[in-house]
């Protein structure tokens, strides 16, 4: 019983230390530090966003489902596929951090996002911040 309490206490101390050290983390992740876009590991807003619908656009890179949050309907799927394809191409060159891609003059910032129960890849429009594209299993 005492060993279990010691392990639980140590885990709590480590979790607190990681949480506090993350608050002061200023390391670059490939995107501007002043960007309003969440960094990897940061939970994101509701998906789909208010006033949007979740649209399934088929299968994208790495065999993952392409799901978008947009008010533009199914006509947005070709753009979404272009964005995630460009992201996958860039990811082959850069294994970590956020990646910016531009499709039809719109800048997207893409990267891994973590949430319960698992992580997913997400691209967020920098022009229309509510538009998001997720790659998920």
pLDDT digits (tens, 9 = 90+) for 61-113: 999 999 999 999 999 999 999 999 999 999 999 989 999 999 999 999 999 99
- Is 103 inside any structural domain? yes
- Give the separation between CA 64 and CA 59, rounded to whole angstroms: 6
pTM score: 0.66
Percent of the chain with pLDDT over 90: 50
- Is 48 inside any structural domain? yes
How many domains does the chain divide into? Answer: 1
Per DSSP (E only), the strands in 3-136 are 53-59, 65-70, 99-103, 106-114, 119-125, 132-136
- Is 45 inside any structural domain? yes
Cβ contacts of 88-93, under 8 Å, gap ≥ 24: 88/60, 88/61, 88/62, 91/61
Q: How many other β-carbons are positioned within 10 Å of the β-carbon of residue 76?
A: 18
């Amino acid at each position: 019983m005492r060993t279990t309490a010691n392990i639980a206490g140590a885990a709590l101390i480590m979790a607190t230390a990681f949480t506090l050290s993350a608050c002061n983390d200023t390391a670059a992740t490939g995107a501007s530090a002043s960007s309003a876009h969440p960094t990897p590991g940061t939970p994101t807003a509701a998906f789909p966003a208010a006033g949007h619908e979740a649209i399934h656009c088929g299968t994208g890179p790495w065999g993952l489902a392409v799901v978008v949050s947009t008010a533009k309907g199914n006509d947005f799927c070709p753009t979404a596929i272009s964005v995630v394809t460009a992201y996958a191409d860039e990811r082959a060159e850069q294994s970590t951090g956020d990646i910016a891609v531009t499709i039809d003059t719109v800048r997207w910032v893409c990267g891994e996002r973590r949430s319960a129960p698992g992580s997913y890849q997400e691209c967020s429009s920098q022009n229309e911040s509510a538009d998001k594209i997720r790659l998920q299993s």
